[in-house]
Amino acid sequence: MTRRIAVLASGRGSNFQAVIDAIGAGTIPARCVALITDNPKAYAIERAKKAGIPVVVVDYAAFPSREAYEEKLLVAMREQKADLFVLAGYMRILGSSIVRAFPGKMVNIHPALLPSFTGLHAQRQAVEYGVKVAGCTVHFVDEHLDCGPIILQRCVPVLESDDEDALAERILLEEHIAFPEAIRLFCEGRLEITGRRVHIR
């Protein structure tokens, strides 16, 4: 069965592109039914248009409050009737009402080996802390920041010469592998959440 996925992105959308490419190659048995963005200037919109994917803009700046924005966002998400929502560089923390609406149906990628270095500038945090290994984590989304059950992780070495940008670029290459792989496993029905653990069947 071909699953329906919808992507939420705020910026350039390189992970979104990796997902589009994997779907196009037949690696992910899914159809991307929409890009939802909070940023009308996001380059991800151009990627969606090139791929023939419908774009839904819910411009955060157009709303008087976060609550009003999330109310509209929730409506937009429900309209997609997606089996999975993919947060690909979506730069806002989703409120509880949205997370609770799609339990086990939302995944995120974070540029660190969780539970280390949550939140913004994870790569900078890793360099400043002096770790020898960094990486990325694909996880289900729950009501806590970067805290949901972990699906996949990939590692990179942290080099003596690394700054935040150099490490971020090396991690991004692994993100482009890990994210489509995790989405493929979901779409094949091979992921099972038990407490904090994700079992891959």
- Half-sphere exposure of residue 5: CA atoms within 13 angstroms, side-chain side: 29
When the pLDDT of each residue in the chain is averaged and rounded to a whole number, the result is 97
Name the active-site residue from 110, 121, 144, 199: 110
Would you say the pTM of this structure is higher than 0.85?
Answer: yes
- What integer is the mean pLDDT of 20-35? 98
Stretch 182-198: mean pLDDT, rounded?
Answer: 97
Could you tell me the pLDDT band of residue 1, with boundaries at 50, 70 and 90? Answer: confident
Statement: 3-200 belongs to CATH 3.40.50.170: yes
* Domain definitions of the chain by residue range: 3-200
Active site residue 110: yes
- The pLDDT value recorded for residue 71 is 97
pLDDT digits (tens, 9 = 90+) for 29-50: 999 999 999 999 999 999 999 9
Q: Please tell me the predicted confidence (pLDDT) of residue 196.
A: 95
Asked if 28 contacts 184 with a C-beta cutoff of 8 angstroms, the reply is yes
Mean pLDDT, range 151-178, rounded to an integer: 98
